[in-house]
Amino acid sequence: MVAFRALAQGQFGRFGRARSLDRAAGPQAFSAPYGLVSAAQVCAMQTTRFMHEHRVGQEALAEVALAAYAHAQRNPRAVFHGRPLTRATYHASRWIAEPFHLYDCCQENDGAAAVVITGAERARDLARRPVAILAAAQGIEQGGGIPGFNEPGFPTAHYRQVAKQLWARAGMAPQDVDVAQFYENFTGPVLIALSEMGFCAPGAVEEFVSGGNLQWPSGGLPLNTSGGNLAEGYIHGFELINEAVRQVRGESTCQVKDAELSLAVSGPGYAPGSAVLFAPLA
């Protein structure tokens, strides 16, 4: 079986641009009349509440962006390969929707990514080193996804239930993960997802991501090691699945030494959430 995602942004218009509506209906009735019309604005609202409640500063967002751009400099496929990002440039960039600067936001580009999924016996006969899906989970808490920011657990990246399922099914814990790929349409939901997946408490997330902890080769949790949506390319996060597999195969341009447990987390901030753990095929 082949699973893939392909995008031709120029064909359908830019995702980040607000589109006019004759009448706001459904969930948009809670937001569009008040000017809340883009994904950046929606995620900014969630992130601002999270940062306020848990005393998280702007530098935590910067750490996610800086890690992605640093990793992209080693990846010739990355759109921002050869265009490094400094902390000063990050902070000097224009606001898109506070607390998001320009470099907190993913790209818009054309592209495609795919994976081949087959049984273990067939995989062992293939030329490339096979990688096993160790565990996967998808779900949402009761009341999750209610529009108008009326969820009982707001603000949430929708990963509390996913984390419980994933770690139980894998027989693993967050501290066992060698490398992670977190979908970052914007940097803020990554912080929320990191805490909900169990890597740290919400109030400790700024400390967790600081000091280069997300950067290869010396960080404790190298994150988005191909550059991610921010700096490699935006294929709705499917390229993160490819990078998670590369890490287990030993083929990444930012290869984590002896990586055996590789995590991919999709779409934080949008319900339902899902995540998958990859490991070497026994």
Q: What is the residue extent of each domain of the chain?
A: 2-15+32-280
Residue 267 has what pLDDT?
80
pLDDT band at 76 (very low <50, low <70, confident <90, very high): very high
- Catalytic site residue 183? yes
pLDDT band at 45 (very low <50, low <70, confident <90, very high): very high
Choosing from 69, 90, 183, 270, which is the catalytic residue? 183
Question: What's the rounded Cα separation, in Å, for the pair 105 and 215?
Answer: 19
At residue 211, φ and ψ (nearest 5 deg) are 70, 25
Query: Could you read off the pLDDT of 205-260 as tens digits, one per residue?
Result: 999 999 999 999 999 999 999 999 999 999 888 999 999 999 999 999 999 999 99
Question: Counting Cβ atoms within 10 Å, is residue 173 exposed (0-12), middle (13-18) or buried (19+)?
Answer: exposed
Contact 100/138 with Cβ under 8 angstroms? no
Under CATH, to which class is 2-15+32-280 assigned? alpha beta
Choosing from 69, 90, 103, 234, which is the catalytic residue? 234
pTM metric for this prediction = 0.92
**Token representation of residue 183:** 């979908």
Query: Could you read off the pLDDT of 144-202 as tens digits, one per residue?
Result: 888 778 888 899 999 999 999 999 999 999 999 999 999 999 999 999 999 999 999 99
Specify which residues 2 forms β-bridges with: 116
- Catalytic site residue 103? no
